[in-house]
Amino acid sequence: MGSSSEPNKTNPRRPRKPKSICLPFCSENHYHTCMTDRASCRQYLLEEGQAHPELFPAALKEGFVFQGFVHSKKQALTMRRIKLKGPGDVYQLRPSFMMPYMSGRTKEVEKALFLRRWGVPFEALAYVFGRNPMYWYRAYVSLGRAAIVGTTLKDPARLPAHVLADEKHTRLGGEKVYVATTVAQECILGAEVVPQADTPTLTYGYQVFRQEAGDLDPEYTPRTVTTDKWAATRLAWKGLFPLSTLLLCFLHAVLKIKNRCRNDPPLWTQLREKVWHVYGAPTLAAFAQRLRRLREWATPQPLLASAKEKVLELCDHATDFKKAYAHPGAYRTSNALERLMNYQDRLLYAMQYFHGQPASASLYARAMALVWNFHPYDQRTQKKYGPRASPFERVNGFRYHDNWLENMMIAASMKGRRA
């Protein structure tokens, strides 16, 4: 990627300490009433701090004092600041109806940013909603500054025991790059653009997930990590989480067999039934037995040489596939990951891949992840999970606000990093 601003691949730069607390308010009138009266403001902060401690610095319980005001001429909004008695840190109180950096009110931008879920170009957003394409680009990319894990998962107990990981192949300025993607519980929890797919570079990419998860729980280690067969990916995760069990995706092995049968559909139909029969084994013993039977059947068969090679290769990885039976709930295939990488693929294709600098590309990929995690489900899915439900609500069991963007702003209080 060749940029002087590129972070160290073995030690990613830690983000600056967050200094903004985002809070929900019923209306702007409620906000102004609360902010102009010290007693009301203190009472509101104490109530919210007790109800939602994850939105505040941990030292808030030691007490605070008011530290003046910050006024935005552009948005005609005055915000209070507080100073914590313990560490002495100063924080700005921002309402959820205001975007970071005072770039606009959420009600003015949420519909345009919602359309980014389908990759609507920034030029089209400017034509429909006004302003200019660069305004919408900056508003969108700014979402990626928050920690993905801390913004999406509000309780350390919600950290996933089982995760999936793979690299999305894409391009930056015409050069091949990769998005190191981590997925669990139907949410994208990691998305970092890296220039190569070797072990040190992928370790840097996936280390961001480890750091953000460690902010919630310093002792966090996923029980299992499911990947494809790419050695660099597996070595990167083993280096980051030595105690995790690495699982091999069964689906990738099946797809390799399918690719060798492109010109022989009847052969693929026959092999597909046999390999998925192996996968469907209810117990470890049954799985081992079915895999042996598959090898015994395939070895003497006059199959297409390349297809037979992949069938026997699947059998050779029996040990890697068997590990999943010791971890109920682990991902045995990457289907849950592929669904979300398809979303990445559609948006990247629509924008003709990344342009500009590596740092902005990573922010873009992270913004894509957070918009996915907070977007409301379609009406058919909402019938199952409730009106305006989102992946965030599904994994946490609640939402802060009915508006999806305000919900994200509140969840991203302190950039999703509780100091």
- State the chain's mean pLDDT as an integer: 91
Whether residue 4 has pLDDT greater than 50: no
CA distance 315 to 148: 38
Its sign, for the CA torsion 144, 121, 350, 376, is positive
42-87 tens-digit pLDDT: 999 999 999 999 999 989 989 999 999 989 888 889 999 999 998 8
CA distance 149 to 212: 6
Lowest-pLDDT choice from 163-167, 312-316, 382-386: 382-386
Q: How confident is the model at residue 378 (pLDDT cuts 50, 70, 90)?
A: confident
Residue 206: the pLDDT is: 97
CA distance 87 to 27: 32
Residue 380: the pLDDT is: 72
End-to-end CA separation in angstroms for the chain: 32
Mean pLDDT, rounded, for 380-405 = 85
Residue 6: the pLDDT is: 46
Its sign, for the CA torsion 175, 176, 177, 182, is positive
Q: Which residues contact 405 (CB under 8 A, 6 or more apart)?
A: 106, 109, 110, 113, 114, 374
Q: How confident is the model at residue 5 (pLDDT cuts 50, 70, 90)?
A: very low
CA distance 312 to 253: 10
The angle formed by the CA atoms of residues 381, 389 and 22, to the nearest 5 degrees, is: 160
Mean pLDDT, rounded, for 94-113 = 92
Q: How confident is the model at residue 144 (pLDDT cuts 50, 70, 90)?
A: very high
Q: Could you tell me which of 144, 185, 188 has the C-alpha nearest to residue 162?
A: 185
Write the CA distances from 30 to 87, 230, 333, integer angstroms. Answer: 30, 54, 49
Lowest-pLDDT choice from 48-57, 201-210, 219-228, 384-393: 384-393
Domain boundaries, the chain: 20-102+403-416
Residue 257 identity (one-letter amino acid): I
Q: Return the H-helix or E-strand segment holding 163.
A: strand 162-172
The three-state secondary structure class of 238 is: helix
Q: How confident is the model at residue 7 (pLDDT cuts 50, 70, 90)?
A: very low
Q: Could you tell me which of 209, 231, 229 has the C-alpha nearest to residue 221?
A: 209
By DSSP bridging, strand 175-184 and strand 162-172 are antiparallel
Ramachandran assignment for 128, one of left (phi > 0), alpha (psi -120 to 50 degrees), beta (any other): alpha
Residue 15: the pLDDT is: 59
Q: How many CA atoms lie within 13 A of 254 on its CB side?
A: 19
192-213 tens-digit pLDDT: 999 999 999 999 999 999 999 9
